[in-house]
Amino acid sequence: MRRYLEQFIKLSVAATFFVPLVLISSKFIFPFIVPKILIFRSLTLLMLGAYVVLLVSDYARYRPRVTLINIAVVAFFFSFFVSTFVGVDWYRSFWDNHERMLGLFTIFHYVVYYFIATSVIKEKNDWRWLLRLFLLAGGIAMFIGLLQKINPLLLLNDGSSRVSATLGNPIYYSGYGLFLFYIGLILFWKESVKEWKYFAIIGGALGFMGVFLGGTRGTLLGLIASVGILMVSYFFTLKEHKKMRQTIGAVIAAGIIVFSLLFAFRQTNFVQRIPAVGRLFSVSFASSTGATRIMAWKIAVAAWEEKPVFGWGPNNFYYAFNKYYQPESLERGWGETWFDAAHSAIFNALAVQGIVGLFLYVGLFAIAIVQLWFGYKKKVIDAHLLGIGAAFLVGHFIHNAVVFENPTSYLYFFFFLAFVNRQTFGVEEKEKKEKTVSPALTMAMLVVVLFLIYSTNINVARANMTSLRVLGAMQTGQLVAETYQKAVEMSSPHIDDIRSDFVRSLIMIIPQYNKASFTDKAKELYQLGYDESKKNLVLHPLDIRTHLQFAQLIQQGVMELKEPPQSLLEAETVLKDALVKSLKRQQIIYQLAMLELLIGKPDEAVILLQSAIDDDDRIGEGWWRLALVYAQTGDNDKAREIIKTAQDKGIVFDAQGNSVVSMILQADEKSK
């Protein structure tokens, strides 16, 4: 029985390697994330059930050992746990949202996955097979990315020049490629059979190609730095191979020369056309994304200064970003004004987990390298695993320094930590006597695990899929409330996302219902959306998106469904509360100003819009909205003055702004 359970765990670990390939686009909201996480968590729970049985049956054999990496992983998780419950929104820290799903609950599964893999899988041949399978699964993902390069519309890639395969984001794809490149190198040196060496070369080459096809600057920088680390490692460890050291020295020198030449000619078409390389050398902190990411990093530091020890709580960077929001973000477009992460795992950890969390996160990388070094000094591992392992860890760290973690990166990172931890153990004495496993305990654990899978994963999947059906039903107006009720009755912890998605779609669909004479149906759904929005306000009182959504819903109710005008006063209260939480966010100011105009408070609207202009007078929307307020109150002279002042400052209006300006000027001409 024990051997069967061990084999089951090994097969389950192998199955997780194919999770990144899962994509069910027609069934799930956020299909690149949700099914992957749910399948991974289910596999981990099955492994946990088997592992508990093994532990109870033979604790001495299967218990986690005291190693540096084991201690580092436990400490990191403990910090994550503490930050979750001392942060500003424990619910979001614990569960996260459908778009990320990397709350404490999921991180627990990755930690369990790590400890099971490193404690149960002991034979080097088993690890070699696992590396092969990981390379196989990853190679498939890299090949899909290559097909997307040929056909940019394949698998929801939307015509992008940067590919993402089944991962949904080029950043994830590039980071995955970096890992596969180094796994290929490890296998190349470990394999003794020629065919398997070829397999390692092909898989590693696909990973190397993936770094460039994903076009992520941080990953390319990580690749360059990590190759340098690998060369330096070989230079110092291969002391008895003088010719090899000379060759490595020449490679290092050549690499420096090539990098210098690429940098010197970075503006040429040749360099600009090289995938990823052109993007790396054309990076500018004055660009749209560069400038906003620098702002996000500064906000992360400001957030850390306010909560320095354990931070704002995992997945709560969004709240800190709102509090310290910089108005100039809007100069780069509305898409650059909403950050739920600092776009840097380093700065993000600093903000949401504080200095303790950042120290322990960095420690995962540093301690793994230290343990590799100790293993090499004790002659437990060779120079290849030392150099390649350290190179990947450095490269992955640099990659994360300018991006963020994701389900796939956590998968291969914790798997690699488990691999390194086991390889540096040394040889353990084999058990002389195999202890028996209780069939009754095995069946009991199976029942418990199946219950957990159903309640924490299957129910979540059903609710997510039903929520998607709700959004589809809203297009026809048939069985919307009934289908929605089914979704909320499935006890998903992501009920807040289900509510938010429903209300967001409802706001857009109400005018269409009204136009199609579905007014009674619209009123019924409006009341449902109103009640659900209030529940989200209670659950996430700091979430200004919920405030904005609730106020917008009320306005739709009054304007389209003839709800009592007094309801607008509630919307006003909610928006003012949102403004307290993000004092300079234009979206709140604009929405509140138009609401104040609607309820007969034009002076308040003027004050709000003038404050937005004072915060950043380069944004055209504040100007044309202020002119509109004056025009709506009959002060056309002031409206014209505002427009002229904006034009004198060189303000360029968008299409909506130009429409409003034309309307004001034409109305003024007619009045003459």
| DSSP category for residue 153 | T
CB atoms within 10 A of CB 561: 18
- Report pLDDT digits (tens) over 68-112: 999 999 999 999 999 999 999 999 999 999 999 999 999 999 999
pLDDT < 50 positions in the chain: none
The whole-angstrom separation of Cα 239 and Cα 346 is 35
Contacts of residue 326, Cβ cutoff 8 Å, sequence gap at least 6: 295, 298, 299, 584
- Report pLDDT digits (tens) over 162-216: 899 999 999 999 999 999 999 999 999 999 899 999 999 999 999 999 999 998 8
The whole-angstrom separation of Cα 291 and Cα 282 is 14
Domains and CATH numbers, the chain: 122-423 (no CATH), 585-672 (1.25.40.10)
The whole-angstrom separation of Cα 342 and Cα 359 is 17
> What percent of the chain clears pLDDT 90, i.e. is strictly above it?
77
pLDDT at site 217: 86
Angle CA(427)–CA(431)–CA(435) in degrees, nearest 5? 145
DSSP class per residue in 284-297? -TTSHHHHHHHHHH
The whole-angstrom separation of Cα 630 and Cα 55 is 74
pLDDT at site 500: 96
The whole-angstrom separation of Cα 561 and Cα 510 is 8
Quick check: pTM over 0.95?
A: no
Contacts of residue 221, Cβ cutoff 8 Å, sequence gap at least 6: 280, 398, 399, 402
pLDDT at site 277: 67
Determine the residue type at 251: V
Contacts of residue 541, Cβ cutoff 8 Å, sequence gap at least 6: none
SS (H, E, C) 399-442: HHHCCCCCHHHHHHHHHHHHHHHHHCCCCCCCCCCCCCCCHHHH
Cα torsion through 658, 660, 665, 670, rounded to 10: 130
